[in-house]
């Protein structure tokens, strides 16, 4: 039976670094012999070949055992893995933004098409894979000590931010505030005509459909622009000075009151958009879907504005 043990240990030794080979093989031999002695004592006789095969198989394949006893060869170790995973999530957000924002600009400016939307996926996948690959290579280099982390390990608990157990309603972090600020800036650019949008017509069943805005919506040009500016200021507070609770609550209250006023004006003035084919064709189904969409949007917006009146009113009083 010693021949099986020698062959097993030889296979493991071939996969170990020379500097540690003898010590690891000696330790593994002691482990195997102890298990053999225990099993032979239980059976009251020496192990036969089949039983020895089963015992060595239970210890593990030589490749697995060599990896277990040898130096750590994981591409990314368990201590570094959470940092790698966090970095991958950030990379995915960056890849999504890099694919979506240019396509959104093209669509809003009237230069986009169906191919532009399809291109979002084809742009996102290679960008995301490339960024994830870079993050993996950097993490692997840090894991092996090729890249020094310097004073990164000398972090202090006192430098960590205070995170409440429950997140307050409608609270935002800097990233969310920045995203909202960019979105509002796009809206202001479109609303003021700095970024043209093709409102002259849309394709429907192969025909060009005319789009007519409600006179009530046209009359609200300046109020809507003012509300957008107020929302941009509120988002700017989140990005620059998140601790300015009262100023932000005041701007949010102005926006909530203005939003309710806009809904009150637009609700009886429906339809907001009217569609018509040049030849008098039927677009009733399209008109029905759009009207229902605007009703849902206005109802949800009114509910959000009412909730913000209470929440931000309380923050304005309490100051936090």
> What is the residue-wise DSSP string for the chain?
-HHHHHHHHHHHHTTS-HHHHHHHHHHHHHHHHHHHHHHHHHHTS---HHHHHHHHHHH--HHHHHHHHS----SS-TTTHHHHHHHHHHHHHHHHHHHHHHHHHHHHTT---HHHHHHHHHHHHHHHHHHHHHHHHHHHHHHTTSS--GGGG---GGGSPP--SSPPTT---HHHHHHHHHHHHHHHHHHTTSS----SEEEETTEEEEEEE-HHHHHTHHHHHHHHHHHHHHHHHHHH-TT-HHHHHHHHHHHHHHHHHHHHHHGGG--SEEEE-TT----HHHHHHHHHHHHHHHHHHHHHHHHHHHHHHHHHHH--
The answer on 314 and 197 residing in a single domain is yes
Which residues face 34 on adjacent strands?
none
Q: Count CA atoms closer than 13 A to 89's CA, side-chain side.
A: 5
Question: Considering the domain boundaries, does residue 208 fall inside one?
Answer: yes
Question: Considering the domain boundaries, does residue 142 fall inside one?
Answer: no
What domain range includes position 53?
2-69
The answer on 193 and 65 residing in a single domain is no
Of the three residues 17, 38, 69, the one that is the final residue of a domain is 69
Question: Considering the domain boundaries, does residue 64 fall inside one?
Answer: yes
Question: Considering the domain boundaries, does residue 209 fall inside one?
Answer: yes
Residues 226 and 236: beta-carbon distance below 8 Å: no
pLDDT in tens, the chain (320 residues): 678 888 888 888 888 888 888 888 888 889 889 998 998 889 888 888 888 888 888 888 888 888 777 665 667 877 788 888 888 888 888 888 877 777 666 655 555 555 555 666 777 888 888 888 888 888 888 877 777 776 666 666 666 656 565 556 556 677 778 888 888 888 888 788 776 654 444 444 455 556 677 888 888 889 999 999 999 998 888 888 877 888 888 898 999 999 999 989 888 888 887 876 666 556 677 778 778 888 888 888 888 888 888 888 888 887 65
**What distance lies between CA 274 and its chain's CA centroid?**
37
Question: Considering the domain boundaries, does residue 140 fall inside one?
Answer: no
Of the three residues 23, 46, 69, the one that is the final residue of a domain is 69
Q: Measured between alpha carbons, how far is residue 222 from residues 163, 208, 225 in Å?
A: 39, 30, 5
Predicted structure pTM score = 0.47
The answer on 184 and 59 residing in a single domain is no
Question: Considering the domain boundaries, does residue 214 fall inside one?
Answer: yes
Of the three residues 37, 69, 101, the one that is the final residue of a domain is 69
Tally of domains in the chain: 2
Question: Considering the domain boundaries, does residue 54 fall inside one?
Answer: yes
Question: Considering the domain boundaries, does residue 102 fall inside one?
Answer: no
């Amino acid at each position: 039976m010693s021949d099986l043990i020698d062959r097993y240990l030889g296979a493991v030794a071939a996969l170990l670094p020379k500097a540690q080979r003898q010590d690891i093989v000696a330790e593994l031999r002691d482990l195997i012999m102890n298990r053999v002695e225990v099993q032979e004592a239980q059976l009251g006789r020496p192990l036969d070949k089949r039983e020895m095969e089963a015992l060595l198989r239970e210890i593990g394949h030589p490749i697995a055992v060599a990896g277990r006893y040898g130096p750590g060869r994981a591409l990314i170790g368990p201590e570094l893995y959470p940092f790698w995973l966090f970095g991958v999530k950030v990379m995915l957000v960056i890849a999504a933004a890099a694919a979506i924002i240019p396509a959104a600009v093209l669509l809003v400016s009237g230069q986009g098409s169906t191919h532009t939307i399809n291109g979002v996926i084809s742009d996102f996948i290679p960008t995301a894979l490339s960024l994830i690959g870079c993050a993996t290579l950097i993490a692997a280099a840090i894991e092996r000590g090729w890249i020094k982390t310097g004073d990164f390990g000398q972090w202090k608990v006192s430098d960590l931010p205070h995170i409440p157990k429950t997140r307050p309603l409608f609270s935002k972090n800097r990233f969310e505030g920045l995203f909202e600020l960019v979105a509002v800036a796009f809206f202001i650019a479109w609303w003021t005509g700095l970024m043209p949008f093709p409102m002259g017509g849309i394709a429907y069943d192969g025909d060009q459909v005319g789009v007519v805005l409600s006179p009530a919506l046209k009359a609200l040009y300046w109020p809507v622009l003012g509300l957008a500016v107020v929302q941009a200021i509120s988002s700017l507070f989140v990005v620059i000075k998140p601790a300015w609770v009262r100023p932000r609550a005041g701007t949010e209250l102005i926006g909530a009151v203005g939003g309710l006023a806009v809904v009150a004006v637009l609700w009886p003035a429906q339809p907001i958009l009217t569609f018509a084919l040049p030849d008098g064709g039927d677009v009733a189904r399209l008109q029905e879907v759009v009207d229902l969409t605007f009703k849902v949007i206005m109802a949800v917006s009114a509910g959000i504005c009412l909730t913000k009146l209470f929440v931000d009113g309380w923050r304005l009083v309490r100051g936090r």
